[in-house]
Amino acid sequence: MQIAVGRDVRTSSPSLQKAVIEGLTQAGVHVIDIGMGPTELMYFAVGSLNLDGGIQVSASHNPGEYNGLKMVRAGVEALSADTGLADIKRLALGDQDLTADQPGTVEARSLETDYIYSITKLVDLAKLPSLKIVANNNFGASGPVAKKALQNLQAPVELVELNFAPDGTFPKGRPDPLAPENRAETSMEVKKNNADLGVAWDADGDRCYIADENGEFIEGCHLTALLAEHLLKKHHGERVIYEPRNIWAVEAAIKQNGGVPVMNKAGHTFIKNRMKQEGALFGGEMSGHYYYRDFFNADNGLLTFLYFLEIIAQSGQKVSEIAKPFRDKFFVSGEINFKVKDIQAAIDDVKKQFPDGQLDTTDGISLSFKDWRLNLRPSNTEPLLRLNVEALNRDDCLNRTNRLTEILRYHTAA
């Protein structure tokens, strides 16, 4: 058995990676140590080398004191409770001796150059105009890799490097591009430098966010719609996976470009596995994860950035002009989080207050009306209830959001 093991930039990651490798080799596993890099480098190792699985030591966008393991099976298939995690838990809590008669070996291997070559051959930036781009690496591993990819493509890009050097202490706090303070910094730098756009990644690089020339970030549902539109022009009639938080812009983009929309529960494990099951071309989540059939059905923050540059190259428009058709028609609240005393009671109250909505339970609850819609779902990773509202009118979106906020605040934990 062969397993790739990588790590993110956190100060605790080297020692944890060492422990993971020791445990695997004692069990007779051959380990390919791919060193430090973004999580998609581990996905690339497993997929391109046909390995039996991979482990990335990472806590993604969480604060620096956290750490964890991201694991995939052969074929870059995500692990869930039904497909391996429960077995791992049982083994971890058990007292059986897993030591093999013949210990495994360790092979250190650098795959960054191969990874960059593999990704860059998927895009065509020949018509890309000269651009100035603010790139917020959030002290992770993606920025330097993206810079090398742009050089490989000979892209006419001037990078304004922000929080660019990998630093596992995360001196500016939580390395999360969704955090308001991180977005504000990126937006400010875009405007200060008269940049054409901004890009931001989380610490392990599997999430990507794009800001226009005014420093305004493109909503996840709108970016999913833009990427779906772009990829379906190349691959007409393919399936696209999306999740239930905000759906109208995405469904419109898919249908107008001859694709087949497939809704699925949010979460990288669920989306990855549905991508493979459906043979889907592309999948997108509001959280900033974007999945590609051409990348083992896995999420990839670098490829998302490069595909967006390809959109610019083909359209010749400013980023705000590219986003405008979706921004002007599909208004969204942005995700609002509530820490409530009783999640089910809060959900039941919302259903009671809006009894005429068409109910969908793909993920939490969605209630759809003629000109507005809500989704309310428990977080997969935090003790929170997440609200998203969308509408065909800006004021209606604001008013509905305010009303729902009042209801949910009544349930908020002290």
Catalytic hit among 13, 60, 142, 287: 60
Look up 60 and say whether it is catalytic.
yes
Sequence-separated (6 or more) residues with CB below 8 Å from residue 84: 71, 73
User: How far lies 152's CA from each of 70, 116, 158, 161, in Å?
Assistant: 29, 8, 14, 18
Cα distance between residue 230 and residue 348, in whole Å: 39
Query: What's the chain's Rg over C-alpha atoms?
Result: 21
Dihedral of the alpha carbons of 347, 85, 175, 46, in degrees to the nearest 10: -130
Cα distance between residue 373 and residue 353, in whole Å: 14
Cα distance between residue 294 and residue 310, in whole Å: 16
Closest CA to 210 of 221, 223, 229, 225: 223
Cα distance between residue 349 and residue 326, in whole Å: 31
What's the token pair of residue 130? 């000269």
Active site residues per annotation: 60
